[in-house]
Structure 1
């Protein structure tokens, strides 16, 4: 059983292998990220990428599965307050076999909770050719060897830890919505509400069994005695539903443009994201409203006809509490 003390800086481990089939890619993408280059082989040939590839959120979830099976399920892990940075460096394609190379970068005890430790990990997710397809850096909370139970303290602990890490997000006001579709039309500071989603216990367990089978995500009884006090969604589930809402939002914009006889702008892939924060648990029955705000943009130097758009994204529950936030980027078609 890994405790905080068993994860010193410099420790390295490799998890896997894990084979990724075309059906795996299609199944995840149809549920959470139904962009053409993730769900349609023919359409993918005419896309920014030119071939069918896995969603980046699928890659993150697969890395979580490798970590869970390799170490987390045999540890005192109490979840993660967020992700510092993810970079999607190469596409994950049907037939790839993935391994995750883990290194502990640093560790420290919580100042307010000395029986709670924070461990900072770096992951290189690599394919069968040993090409790095994704990198990720993040913190995970672990109990120490002599820790007392933390049952039901998840709301206060998670928020406090997330706010103490670099890149903590101040509260932001949401300006009026604008639905301008092309890169040149996007206005810095404008916010779109993407939609709302209610997390059910069945969906929480289904996602977690595939990608993040920690006890507080898959077992309602065990969750009651965990840090979170009740069944709650994997952070990667919360993030994947953000993508699901974003795709649905873009589909509505596309339908509106086509109805007006206009050609809607295309979006390309994302190079990655930073400063993801899981600020409060998402429990069964919670309804999360997702929003995205354009924070900056610049023409792409490497891709003529495209720009790179930076955006801040949030999820807020039915009580008005921000539960989720991150800073993303995406290639956006120019006029």
Structure 2
């Protein structure tokens, strides 16, 4: 029997997860695959960056928190996945050699109204480094089977959609034409949408990512996944999100190369302070092709960083059937014209 079922998560209780030491090799490997910005992959270039030193991708930090949670809780539980993330804040850089622990707090829990055999638990995570500095916080709901309830099989898409629908929706209402090449902060127009690119999720890729960061049975074992809530092998939500970042970096690199070919100085992007309202609306199954988009929703000049602005954007992933499988509200520092 699983150690943890829905009834075992008591609001107000806390548990420390980890530790995990971030090696330079692991930091670079994740960044080179999913977030190859200079301050994540190049020590020399990082010295001249917004931060001034080599740091981990924020999506890597999220994935590491998932691994700590999986090892200490999820793999010993009746977990049925998560509909999304309310909020993530990347508060301090994670550097090579940092040793991380995650303080897990149960905020609240409630039985599912539509599925009596399932309950939802709301968590808060605070990731600490070796100096006990909080580098990352996250709030989110996770679905768990109730103790002694009959297993729920093959209804994952409906359950995810229902749970995600309870989260606030801030999807932009319009999409406008392609923005100008090499835009600086001042050139960005609120409401304009970019298609970042498409990615086909293969079974081997799904399993490889999940074994490292989210080894739940429906992410790593195609046969076991048949008897899960999702009915088939599907990607970890953090894999879906990390591929969004991969497509964003690829898109920005194409803009940079075009600008350089024209003799222009490319606009730079800095790090992101975090994101909100991330929703995993439908499972991403092996063989699915997801097309990612980003839409500028707001912007403001940074008071703390001269020469930079903060840009807010809505992001989404659409599968080959035209169904939205993933979305979130992000923010990033963007270089201003000098």
1:107 pairs, out of 103, 106, 109, with 109
Shift of 1:175: 1.9
Structure 1: gaps of 5 or more residues: none
Change (3 A) 1:160 1:294: same
Contact kept in structure 1, 2:157 and 2:230, CA below 8 Å:
yes
Match of 2:146 in 1: 144
Q: Is the 8 A contact 1:179 1:253 kept in 2?
A: no
Give secondary structure in 1 for the equivalent of 2:265: coil
Check whether the contact 1:18–1:99 (CA below 8 A) recurs between aligned residues: yes
The answer to whether the aligner puts 1:14 opposite 2:41 as a matched pair is: no
Aligned partner of 1:237 in structure 2 is 239
Provide the secondary structure at the position in 1 that maps to 2:332.
strand
Aligned equivalents of 1:293, 1:117: Cα separation in 2: 34
Q: Deviations over 1:306-333 (max 9, x none)?
A: 0000000000000000000000000000
- Select which of 172, 182, 185 maps to 1:183: 185
Which one of the candidate residues 300, 306, 309 is aligned to 2:308? 306
TM-score (norm 2): 0.97
Contact 1:216 1:226 in 2 (8 A): yes
Alignment of 1:176-215 (within 5 A): 176-180=177-181, 181-215=183-217
Match of 2:156 in 1: 154
CA distance in 2, matches of 1:146, 1:319: 37
- Say yes or no: does 1:319 pair with 2:321: yes
1:168 is displaced (CA, Å) by 3.1
Q: Distance in 2 between matches of 1:162 and 1:315?
A: 15
Residue of structure 1 equivalent to 2:100: 98
Secondary structure of the structure 2 residue equivalent to 1:296: strand
Instruction: Give the match's secondary structure for 2:71.
Output: helix
Aligned residue for 2:56?
54
What is the alpha-carbon distance in structure 2 between the residues aligned to residue 54 and residue 170 of structure 1?
29
Aligned to 1:285: 287
The normalised TM-score by structure 1 is 0.98
8 Å Cα contact 1:83/1:138 also seen in 2: yes
Farther-moved stretch of structure 1 (286-295 vs 152-161): 152-161
Contact 1:57 1:240 in 2 (8 A): yes
TM-aligned CA deviation for residue 170 of structure 1: 4.7
Confirm or deny: 8 A CA contact 2:174 2:191 kept in the other structure: no
Aligned residues: 334
The runs of 5 or more residues in structure 2 that have no matched partner are none
Rounded to whole Å, the distance in 1 between the matches of 2:309 and 2:213 is 33
SS at match of 1:277: strand
